Structure 1
């Protein structure tokens, strides 16, 4: 204890200095407390208040995110004793997460099945804000301890969100499966972290002593520890072989929660990988473990498994779940290249994918609200009854496929360009296989995405007595998303220059 006393002043100064770079997260903590207290004070009447406070608070947090760009003009900052990293990339990812989270908070009450839940949605808003705080930590984490704590915070919030509709057996089952898979992956990751700490005596990935100590350890043992840590991160990315939970959880969770899980944690996990990759790659090379080849194999297998499995699905949410796995594999291509061009391409791709995915699931909620349609065959003949929603759905699916002139096309083009530029320099067989697999699976994705417009417009409904109903909020959201996807497809530099 006496040995630590001389260092206390320096540690406290480091904490106080770090708070300057931690203001959006401080506001999120305050927002969480305010939303939770509002729920306790107003009870069942608190839903509208919690929703308004959460949305207004996220707008303020987003503004604080944007102000942080002025703090990184001269480079990056390590805060809280090298626990978190603030740089331009992390601020971009935090801003995207907050913008999408704001959109999803509005979406929660527009899903009739979720809104009808007997205990209301006030708790869900406080859980969502806590999840956003964890996502911010994931985006900035560069220490093994902060990485684990951030992932666990997001995971616990996600478990609660998936099983929120406790009266629904499918939702409860999905929550249970998610908890079991999450607990297993968390234990595996913690074991890997403990091994790395035992081998090196440090949790700081940037510490020179870590590589020096790992070189003294059997290369297989060190590689095994790194793989265990990657499994924990891969659980959030949902790449093969840690993807088994995705279809059941996405199908069983309330549709707005599915939209949340398939976009925000995935973006944060990619940001986490980008943060730690510059430190992990040298460790891998030092112990004879080439992470580039590992990620290339994972990317190829994930693209193939996700897209081919999606072709066989009839449930819309389950199909989108498998397609999200395929998109994860495609986005990993940019991670493998890991240069400034690929970073911009990945950020753009994740933004437009998340927008399109949220739009697709919002329209899945819409057709569930108005026509009780859960499966693709239930969409038969609804194109003329609900033309605006059907046209927006088609545009969004075009973007998810990656066809011109959508933002999805430009996103995939940027990723292909980044990979091809590196391929021209070293002619790596792995990069060639990645590009070939990415192109072929894009063609495969057309076969399952086209099922929805095919049933909407070209097939007649077997039940002509469907009551004509509307859900205007979801129509407005889907229309805005469809317009933005076309706009970004035509003018990609309007957003790319800021990434």
Structure 2
């Protein structure tokens, strides 16, 4: 105990100096408590107030995110600042990921009440808003985690919030089953990852990825044992990314969860997991003496298999949410292409691609909510003949699906061009066969995605049904939201610098 006393002043000074760089997370903590207390004070009548507080608080957090950029420049830490004993790393990449996450979170907070099935919950939505803010705080930590301990804790925080959100409508059998499956798969992946972390700590004697003896220690250990440990850690990260082979939970959970929760799970944790993967890979890539586990080879193979499995499985789906679940797996594999490049261009391409993917995916699921509200339509075949009866929502649905496919002139097309360009520029230099295979697979699976995305416009406008249910809910808010998302997708497709200038 006495041996630790000399280190206490330095630890206190490090903590105090880290606080100015941690203000968005402090604001999120205060916002979480504020929404929670509001719910406790006003009960079921607090829904609207909790939603307003959560939305306004997230806008304030976005403003604090931007202030962090200038703070890094003013303090002379352009390359990044380690926080709290090198547990976290704040740099421009992390800030960009946080900006995307906070913007999408603010949008989705508004969407929760638009789902009639979720809104009919006897407990109301106040609890869901506090869980959502807690989830945003957790994904913030994921974007900055650079210590194996902070990585594990951040993933667990996100997982706990996700479990609660998936099973929020626990009175329905399907939602309860989805929540249980998610917990079981999450617990298994968590245990596997923790075992991998313990092996890495045993080999290297440190949990810090950027300093200490971790990487030199791994170089001296048995290569097969190190490869096993790193593979186990990748499984834990891959659970959040939902790449093959840890993707089995996605279809059932996405279909069983309330649609706004599906939109949340398919965007925020996935985007944060990509930031975490980049942080995890960086020390191994830039450690000159590292010649062990070949991350480029492994991630290339995973990316190829994930693109093929996700897109071909989506073709067979009849349920809209299940189809979008498999398509999100395919998008994960596509984004891995740019991660494999290991350069700033690839990272910028990933950020842009994930931003426009998140926007389009939220739009698609919001419009799926519209048709579920109006006509209880969950399957693609139940969309027959609805295009002319609900033209605004149907046209918006087609636009967001065009973006998800990656067709001109949508933002999704621009994002895919950026990813292909980053991979091709690296391929020109080293002529790596796996990069070529990634590009070929990405192009072919983009064509395959047309076969399942086109099913929705086909049923909306080209197929007819004699019996149409009467609309019992117009959900005009969803239509206005769909128009906003569609216009934004087209604008970002024509002028991608609108988003690039903000990041």
TM-score range, shorter chain: over 0.9
Which residue of 2 is the match for residue 70 of structure 1? 70
Q: Any idea what the Cα deviations from partners look like across 1:91-134, whole Å, max 9, x if unmatched? A: 11111111100111100000000000011111101100000000
8 A contact 1:380–1:462 mirrored in 2: no
Q: In angstroms, what is the RMSD of aligned CA positions?
A: 1.2
The answer to which of 470-479 and 443-452 deviates more is 470-479
Greater mean deviation of Cα atoms: 283-292 or 348-357: 283-292
Of the candidates 379, 383, 388, which is equivalent to residue 383 of structure 2? 379
Report the Cα offset of residue 414 of structure 1: 0.5
Structure 1 Cα separation of the partners of residues 11 and 468 of structure 2: 70
**Equivalent of 2:480 in 476, 480, 497:** 476
Q: Distance in 2 between matches of 1:467 and 1:16?
A: 58
In the alignment, structure 2 segments of 5+ residues that lack a partner are none
Residues in 2 aligned to 1:285 and 1:267: alpha-carbon distance in whole angstroms: 30
Aligned to 2:51: 51
Residues 291-302 of structure 1: pairs in structure 2 closer than 5 A: 291-302=295-306
1:271 aligns with 2:271: no
Match for residue 18 of structure 1? Answer: 18
Q: Helix, strand or coil for the counterpart of 2:122?
A: coil
Q: Partner residue of 2:153?
A: 149
Task: Report the CA distance shift for 1:284/1:223 in structure 2 as closer, same or farther (over 3 A).
Answer: farther
What is the DSSP-based 3-state SS (H/G/I as helix, E as strand, rest coil) of the residue aligned with 2:97? helix
Distance (whole Å) between structure 2 residues aligned to residue 146 and residue 243 of structure 1:
24
Select 1:174's aligned residue among 166, 169, 178: 178
Partners of 1:331 and 1:350 within 8 A in 2? yes
What is the correspondence of 1:229-308 to structure 2 with a 5 Å cutoff?
229-281=233-285, 286=290, 288-308=292-312
Do residues 39 (structure 1) and 44 (structure 2) align? no
Match of 2:2, SS state, is coil
Which residue among 92, 96, 102 is the counterpart of 2:100?
A: 96
TM-score by length of 2: 0.98
Secondary structure of the corresponding residue to residue 3 of structure 2:
coil
| Partners of 2:475 and 2:445 in 1: CA distance | 34
The 5 Å alignment of 1:311-322 reads 311-322=315-326
- The correspondence of residues 445-484 of structure 1 with structure 2, limited to 5 A, is 445-467=449-471, 469-484=473-488
Deviations 1:174-227 (A, max 9, x none): 000000000000000000011111111100011251122112211111111111
Cα deviations across residues 50-77 of structure 1 (Å, max 9, x unaligned)?
1111111111111111111102224110
* Partner SS state of residue 82, structure 2: strand
Query: Is the 8 Å Cα contact of residues 222 and 287 (structure 1) preserved in structure 2?
Result: no
Aligned mate of 1:352, from 342, 356, 364:
356
* Residue correspondence of structure 1 range 298-447 to structure 2 within 5 A: 298-447=302-451
Q: CA deviation at 1:276?
A: 2.0
Q: Which moved more, 1:52-61 or 1:317-326?
A: 52-61
1:223–1:284 Cα contact (<8 Å) kept: no
| Gapped regions of structure 1 (runs ≥ 5) | none
SS in 2 for 1:189: helix
Q: Contact (CA 8 Å) 1:313, 1:319: kept in 2 or not?
A: yes
Q: Give the deviation of 1:332 after TM superposition.
A: 0.2
Shift of residue 284, structure 1, vs aligned partner: 11
Check conservation: 1:284, 1:290, Cα contact below 8 A: no
CA distance in 2: counterparts of 1:468 and 1:41, whole angstroms: 34
Please give the alpha-carbon distance, in whole angstroms, between the structure 1 residues aligned to 2:351 and 2:209: 24
* 2:405–2:449 contact (8 Å) kept in structure 1: yes
2:232 to 228, 232, 239: 228
Deviations 1:443-495 (A, max 9, x none): 00000000000000000024134336411111111110000000000111222
Secondary structure, counterpart of 1:21 in structure 2: helix
Separation in 1, partners of 2:372, 2:287: 49
Given that residues 181 and 249 in structure 2 are in contact (C-alpha distance below 8 angstroms), is that contact kept between their aligned partners in structure 1? yes
Q: Secondary structure at the match of 1:289?
A: coil
Partner SS, residue 85 of structure 1: strand
Corresponding residue of 2:27: 27
How many residue pairs were aligned? 499
Distance 1:101 1:318 in 2: 22
Taking the aligned partners of 2:12 and 2:270, their CA distance within structure 1 comes to 34
